[in-house]
Structure 1
Amino acid sequence: MSNLTPSIFAGMSPTALQQALSNAQNALIELQTGAKGVTFSYTQGDGTRAVTYQQTDIAALTALIRQLQQELGIVCRARRPIRFVFR
């Protein structure tokens, strides 16, 4: 039975998919290394301001990366384990 459900990435060019994959991978790296801040405060002439960005869920970001890789046909599948047979 074939999967007839269209991908959520249908209509995107391979170049756009590759760019989205690159952006998602960079975001994951920044999130995991703590390079991406979530809340910033700063003082302006008329008072203190704060900006808060939504923190992305690592599991959701990882799932997005896998979807993009699958769409591009570059999903890495695990190899079968090597088994030794002694006779």
Structure 2
Amino acid sequence: MQFNPRGGLLAGMQTSALQTAIKAAQQAYIDLSTGAKGESYSYTQGDGSKSVTYTKADLPALSALIQSLQVQLGIVPRPRRAIGLRF
């Protein structure tokens, strides 16, 4: 499946805002992983300013955010669900 700019949690964000958000999220992931910086970040989107605080325990959530941004930007395809076989 390809990305759908009209669907999902990030629908309606401009491409430039998504690109800014993914850069910030990726840098936050690197910084948290290495302990290089603080754990609080803010960004602006269509409905106003947002801020978020991450801790090392939130690395999986930050990774999921990065993956969602990648899908919305069409960088990676939407993950497929596992196919189960029944006999």
| TM bucket normalised to smaller | 0.5 to 0.7
Gap runs ≥5 in structure 1: 39-52, 78-87
Gap runs ≥5 in structure 2: 1-5, 40-52, 79-87
| TM-superposed deviation, 1:54 | 5.0
The percent identity for this pair of structures is 51
Paired residues in the alignment total 60
What is the TM-score with the length of structure 2 in the denominator?
0.59
Q: CA RMSD in A?
A: 2.7
1:11 corresponds to: 12
Ranked by relative contact order (alpha carbons within 8 Å, sequence separation 6 or more), the top structure is 2
Task: Name segments (4+ residues, structure 1) moved above 4 Å.
Answer: none
1:61 corresponds to: 62
Greater Rg over alpha carbons, structure: 1
What is the TM-score with the length of structure 1 in the denominator?
0.59
